[in-house]
Structure 1
């Protein structure tokens, strides 16, 4: 990775967010009693954002996650892919950007995650989906709280009709979601806590929705009610059987974590860098 190029990209991101800081802070403040979020369009120069899409790995070069919970392709092993993607991803970890987003969201201790635990690249092709879920509350070592999810979308001409959009469930997964479209060159930032249910609706077209994602962590949870939890999935409101299965799944995984604090096996979705 060219660290100087990543620094140049972080400068572009910083300046764009700084330009809209007042509006973004207002958006987050207005929504934080349920699920705090904001989004910003035209984050990077269009040519650079388009180049990210052009060099995005094929699904066959990524890890497929397919179950009743989700169906998508992911990768955190950034050295296997075009260096531009790693440069853009780590640009979001520049301390200036982390601190600026911390100001917008009023979070004092905020840390990027160099290991990309559950972050990195994601791709959703036709029929892919991500059921309503709560993200794992902590980092891999259970030392810091996961508090923000940053999603940068890079597929050109991605429309409402395509599906594959971020859904927030501010009134819980039994109610109706609000949709944040996965528009090209859009950065969406959302809070993660014990009621921040979110999902991605099914992709309906023979195209791929590509995303570069980061998580930020903190010394403290966003809500005083937050307690440790594993990633918890549900079906959609009408999926009664799926809900029963996924409730049992979450309960069993929580039971395991009460016995084995860090789980039986390490989550493989981290960036294993070469020495």
Structure 2
């Protein structure tokens, strides 16, 4: 179902990639299967989706297994299976565990104006106490054009400010392209370009995250930590939103604040 041999051949590239370990793999699953997955996404204004709309992020998402149609359900079941998780972990040299709750994963959709500031994912799973380690994202927007934006950006880390230093790489969104990356290297990532398709398309992806045993004295960050974009730097309202968005108690009230 998945190009596992491609990961095996390129595992050295994964570990040596900058600004943090990652791989970009095209034609990640069988083309017909990818089309079936793409066809199961809901429309962007479906009431079952959870909407994030604030100056840091504009997207919709869903991680409810009961809402997934057959192909999507089976795919996530496979991605969580002992066979796949064990093989992926062995290839990467990491003891990995699945997150059956798809915390932060599932369907992700970005409409026109869709954005996602550079951020660090949560570090410790709020229910399992395990460390988030590997992200796997599969892009499923058919007929996506480079001028629509939505590129996946990878930033280096500034050790002085503990914020993104430089946009080191942009990954253009292509149908059936996957990105696998390690989240434990101050791995700042997000959308380096806002989505702008003129209303003709939606940026669609499936995401799943794998966990590991946390090393001693690991930072207990249970919510994503965002950084301002260049036009938001020194904006006190944005800094306050970032603080609240990362707070375990205050984060829920921040999702739907408007630009």
Scaled by the length of structure 1, the TM-score of the pair is 0.79
CA distance in 1: counterparts of 2:112 and 2:72, whole angstroms: 23
CA contact (8 A) 1:92 1:98 kept: yes
Partner SS for 2:103: coil
2:188 is aligned with 1:202: no
Which position in structure 2 is the counterpart of 1:43?
28
Which position in structure 1 is the counterpart of 2:257?
none
| C-alpha deviation, 1:90, in angstroms | 2.3
CA distance in 2: counterparts of 1:265 and 1:199, whole angstroms: 19
Which structure has the highest helix share of the two? 1
Query: Aligned match of 1:68 in 48, 55, 64?
Result: 55
Q: CA RMSD in A?
A: 2.4
CA distance in 2: counterparts of 1:81 and 1:192, whole angstroms: 26
Partner SS for 1:216: strand
CA distance in 2: counterparts of 1:165 and 1:186, whole angstroms: 12
Unaligned runs of 5+ in 1: 1-11, 258-262, 268-275
Which position in structure 1 is the counterpart of 2:129?
143
CA distance in 2: counterparts of 1:55 and 1:248, whole angstroms: 37
Which position in structure 2 is the counterpart of 1:234?
227
1:253/1:121 CA distance change after superposition, 3 Å: closer
Which position in structure 1 is the counterpart of 2:180?
189
| C-alpha deviation, 1:252, in angstroms | 4.7
| C-alpha deviation, 1:46, in angstroms | 0.9
Which structure has the highest strand share of the two? 2
Which position in structure 2 is the counterpart of 1:176?
167
CA distance in 2: counterparts of 1:176 and 1:44, whole angstroms: 29
2:29 is aligned with 1:29: no
CA distance in 2: counterparts of 1:121 and 1:69, whole angstroms: 19
Alpha-carbon deviations, 1:158-199, whole Å to 9, x = none?
232211121110245232241122211112111112611001
1:233/1:55 CA distance change after superposition, 3 Å: same
Query: Aligned match of 2:97 in 99, 111, 114?
Result: 111
Scaled by the length of structure 2, the TM-score of the pair is 0.84
Unaligned runs of 5+ in 2: 159-163, 254-259
CA distance in 2: counterparts of 1:138 and 1:85, whole angstroms: 26
CA distance in 2: counterparts of 1:175 and 1:45, whole angstroms: 35
Partner SS for 1:48: helix
Partner SS for 2:89: helix
Which position in structure 1 is the counterpart of 2:74?
87
